[in-house]
Amino acid sequence: MALVIKNLEKRKIKKFIILYFILSLFFFNDAVSNESGKVLSFVAGCYGCHTSNPNQPFGGGYEVKTKYGTFISPNISKDELNGIGNWGKEQFIKAIKEGLSPKNKPYYPVFPYNWYTKMKESDILEIYDYIFSLPAVKKNNANHDLIFPYNIRESLWFWRLANKIITNKNNIEYNSKYNSRGEYLVNSVGHCGACHAPLTFLSIIKDYKNLGGRKETSKFSNDSIPNISNDINEGIGLWTESDIVFFLQTGIKPNGDFVEEDMALIIDHGTKYLKQDELQDIARYLLKIKK
Ligand code: HEC
Ligand code: HEC
């Protein structure tokens, strides 16, 4: 906390919303610091992406708008009718790591299972236990609203094949081990590249470790995503380790600007719950600083 205050004094602050972040930091520190399943489910985005109403955690209904149409996240609470109450641990792990349903139907990669592929099973099971420790949410699932041919789930078999060919060929490192907690949090649990990695054909990602950002898809769409590599000109190479830690706690950039939209949610529902040393590890990984 002291670090947050010290950093705040150093910066010119532009938006009131910061207060909200600081207050929720206090609140969080007191309430739930030991619940690792909860923290993992927040940092991995499971909570953020599967919750549209905070009174119905994991009840689904959150909309993800893409150029393929709008995806509506399903209910993954322990409700037996609408959620995953009937699922065993094996089925849960298979969905998260392989993107396949208990009946072997493929999931759309908007559910970022390609990042979770290398998540530790023990971490996935902590998330499972956390979700099953909460009340069931009785909320129906809505259908995605996708354009043809993406609305045909079977076409995902083609996507999976293309993804396998393109990714494996160009990204040998993808199957290597993580060298630090920071790298694991960035490239697996926190799936930062799900937004910050450049896309190719059919939104396939060639290199899961490339955080070079995305260009706008059209002049009107305003959907570019910044480069967060350690490049000094294009990326965040001039940020310090504590700039990054502070940003992932509060959403405030080194120039005093407050972060916008999607990234604000990633922080508010995710990274601000991480411990100080984990955030430092992320910062070191992003800046490629050796310990
Ligand atoms: C960016 C949004 C997003 C994130 C982050 C996300 N999911 Fe999902 N998830 C989805 C969407 C959308 C679907 C539906 C995919 C489909 O219909 O093919 C889904 C599907 C699922 C399913 C299958 C449900 C069913 O009824 O078949 C499970 C289980 C699940 N997610 C759990 C998780 C867990 C656990 C995490 C965190 C480790 C997570 N999700 C993170 C968006 C997300
Ligand atoms: C859902 C998409 C999404 C995910 C996932 C995501 N980001 Fe972002 N991120 C964005 C967007 C959009 C912006 C631009 C927001 C802005 O500039 O105000 C951004 C901005 C940033 C910035 C500021 C860059 C700059 O130059 O201003 C940093 C640093 C950052 N993200 C780090 C991360 C890290 C670390 C992770 C993983 C823990 C992550 N992001 C995951 C969408 C995402």
Alpha carbon separation from 3 to 112, 133, 248, 251, 254 (Å, rounded):
33, 33, 13, 15, 14
**Binning pLDDT at 50, 70 and 90, where does residue 208 land?**
confident
* The pLDDT of residue 167: 84
CB 187 within 8 A of CB 282: no
3 CA → ligand 1 middle, Å: 35
Pocket residues for ligand 2 (CB within 6 Å)?
A: 186, 190-192, 194-196, 225-226, 228, 236, 247, 253, 259-263, 266, 271, 282
Rg for the chain, CA atoms, rounded:
19
Q: What is the mean pLDDT of the chain?
A: 88
pLDDT, one tens digit per residue, over 218-261 is: 777 788 999 999 999 999 999 999 999 999 999 999 999 999 98
Index of the ligand 2 atom closest to the CA of residue 190: 38
Index of the ligand 1 atom closest to the CA of residue 84: 26
Long-range contacts from 202-207, C-beta under 8 angstroms, 24+ separation: 202/159, 202/162, 202/163, 203/68, 203/109, 204/159, 204/162, 204/163, 204/166, 204/167, 205/114, 205/167, 206/166, 206/167, 206/170, 206/171, 207/170, 207/171, 207/173, 207/174
Atom 25 of ligand 1: nearest residue by CA position: 74
Atom 6 of ligand 2: nearest residue by CA position: 192
238 CA → ligand 1 middle, Å: 35
pLDDT, one tens digit per residue, over 63-73 is: 999 999 999 99
Place of tokens 């999931």: 107
- Indicate the pTM of the whole model: 0.90
How far is residue 242's CA from residue 245's CA, in Å, rounded to a whole number? 5
